[in-house]
């Protein structure tokens, strides 16, 4: 049975690691987000990994070391000294989230918790999170993937209901 896992990559090596995993026939997912980057001579839209130095693989137990021995892969993300498995619904959530118009940013998990809310309207209807105040905007904090990260999603306040 195939299970999703998170792998930690060398810095700025996520896309190359995904290429090498694909060459080995290993199913992988690298969530990318489009951002504007400014250089001294131009501004350009670029695709960057949503989670820096992370890539997700769907493998059977027998492929564990094959994935680990891929160029650019450092180690599996662990939880209690075991490779942390990722729920299929969390991967589907990332796919759906990145297909929406919502602005997404990744922040550390050390945010102050607020009220639990549920998204009642829009493409993310049914998902729950924690309402926080961040940079003056109302955003939903959604804890996912055992990666010590949270996703901040800009959602209109009238889309939310308190749980």
**pLDDT digits over 27-82, tens only?**
999 999 888 888 889 999 888 999 999 999 999 989 999 999 999 999 999 888 88
The reported pTM is 0.75
Please classify residue 119 by burial: count the beta carbons closer than 10 Å to its beta carbon, then call 0-12 exposed, 13-18 middle and 19+ buried.
buried
Integer-rounded Cα radius of gyration of the chain:
17
Average pLDDT over the chain, rounded to an integer: 84
Q: Which two tokens stand for residue 85?
A: 């498995």
Residue 108 pLDDT > 80: no
Cα 59 to Cα 15, 21, 35, 48: the distances in Å are 18, 11, 30, 24
Residue 159 pLDDT > 90: no
All structural domains of the chain with their residue ranges: 3-86, 100-162
Superfamily the domain 3-86 falls into: NusG, N-terminal domain (3.30.70.940)
């Amino acid at each position: 049975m195939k299970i999703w896992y998170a792998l930690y990559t060398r810095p700025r090596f996520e896309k190359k690691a995904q290429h090498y995993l694909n060459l080995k026939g290993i199913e992988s997912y690298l969530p990318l987000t489009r951002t504007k980057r400014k250089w001294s001579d131009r501004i350009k839209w670029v695709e960057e990994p949503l989670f820096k130095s992370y890539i997700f693989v769907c493998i059977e137990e027998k492929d564990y070391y094959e994935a680990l021995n891929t160029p650019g892969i450092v180690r599996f993300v662990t939880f209690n000294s075991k490779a942390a498995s990722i729920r299929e619904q969390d991967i589907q959530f990332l796919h759906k989230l990145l297909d929406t118009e919502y602005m997404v940013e990744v922040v550390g998990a050390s945010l102050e918790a607020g009220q639990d809310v549920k998204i009642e309207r829009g493409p993310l209807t049914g998902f729950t999170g924690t309402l926080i105040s961040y940079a003056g905007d109302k955003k939903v904090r959604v804890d996912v993937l055992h990666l010590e990260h949270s996703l901040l999603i800009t959602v209109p306040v009238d889309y939310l209901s308190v749980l």
